[in-house]
Amino acid sequence: MALFFWLGAASCSRDTENAGQPLPEAKKAPQAQVQPQKQNQDQKLIYDYFPLPEGVKIDGYTAAETAAKATGGKAVMALSLNEDKTYYYSILVRMPEDKWMKVIVNAADGKIMKKIPSKICSNLEHKIFIDHFADLFRDGQRFPEIVMKSSKFKPGEVVADVGCGSGYFTFPIAREVGPKGRVYGVDIDDDAIQIMKERLAEKSCFGDRYKNVEIVKSQIYDICLPENSIATAFICDCELIHEKTGDGDKCFESIAKALKPGGRLIMLSFIDYQLEVMGFKSEKENREHFEKKLKPLGLELIEAGNPLPNPNNFFYIFKKTVK
CB closer to ligand SAM out of 78 and 317:
317
Residue 258 engages ligand SAM in binding (rule: CB under 6 A) = no
Distance of CA 58 to the CA centre of its chain: 28
Euclidean distance between CA atoms 58 and 106, whole angstroms: 9
Residue 236 engages ligand SAM in binding (rule: CB under 6 A) = yes
Residue 148 engages ligand SAM in binding (rule: CB under 6 A) = no
Residue 215 engages ligand SAM in binding (rule: CB under 6 A) = no
Residue 239 engages ligand SAM in binding (rule: CB under 6 A) = yes
x-marked contacts with ligand SAM along 163-202 as a string, rule CB under 6 A: xxx--xx----------------xxxx--x----------
Euclidean distance between CA atoms 269 and 118, whole angstroms: 32
Stretch that binds ligand SAM, among 3-11, 115-123, 162-170, 271-279 (CB under 6 A): 162-170
Distance of CA 38 to the CA centre of its chain: 31
Q: Considering the complex, what minimum distance in angstroms separates the CB of residue 224 from ligand SAM? A: 9
Q: Considering the complex, what minimum distance in angstroms separates the CB of residue 238 from ligand SAM? A: 4
Euclidean distance between CA atoms 265 and 236, whole angstroms: 11
The residue within the footprint of ligand SAM, chosen from 101, 174, 251, 258 (CB under 6 A), is 251
Q: Is the dihedral of CA 223, 225, 227, 230 positive or negative?
A: negative
Sort residue 172 into left (φ over 0), alpha (ψ -120 to 50) or beta: alpha
CB 290 within 8 Å of CB 284 = no
The residue within the footprint of ligand SAM, chosen from 90, 118, 212, 218 (CB under 6 A), is 218
Residue 220 engages ligand SAM in binding (rule: CB under 6 A) = yes
The bridge status of strand 299-305 relative to strand 313-320 is: antiparallel
Euclidean distance between CA atoms 22 and 179, whole angstroms: 5
CB closer to ligand SAM out of 79 and 192:
192
Residues at the contact surface with ligand SAM, assessed by CB under 6 A = 162-165, 168-169, 186-189, 192, 218, 220, 236-240, 248, 251
